[in-house]
Amino acid sequence: MDVKLTADLGSTRVSLRQVANLKVGDIIPLDIPENINAHIDGVNILECKYGIQGGRYALRVEQFIHPEDTEINLIASKLGVKGEDHD
């Protein structure tokens, strides 16, 4: 079964006025943290560093994040896995 692994590479704060004044071609600077969490359904599972491999953005896994049992069970139930079968 495939799942969607998501990693937010950067963010910034802008005012509503700035958004309203954006034009095609404008550049928005981003704050990019050194470590990036990758998640499934909003539950963080990996701590990564980002980089480029083969001309594409990529993540290098630094460590696994061990979510609380309730979060693991939530993901498992969404994937259709029951009980201890998700280990």
The pLDDT tens digits of the residues spanning 61-77 come to 999 887 665 466 666 76
Contacts of 5 (CB under 8 A, 6+ apart): 38, 39, 40, 45, 46
Residue 78, pLDDT above cutoff 80: no
Looking at the domain assignment, is residue 2 inside a domain? no
State the residue range of the domain holding 47: 35-87
Range 42-66 average pLDDT? 91
Residue 20, pLDDT above cutoff 90: yes
The pLDDT, as a whole number, for residue 49 is 95
Looking at the domain assignment, is residue 83 inside a domain? yes
- Counting the structural domains of the chain, the total is 1
The pLDDT, as a whole number, for residue 71 is 61
Residue 9, pLDDT above cutoff 50: yes
The dihedral sign for the CA sequence 18, 24, 26, 27: positive
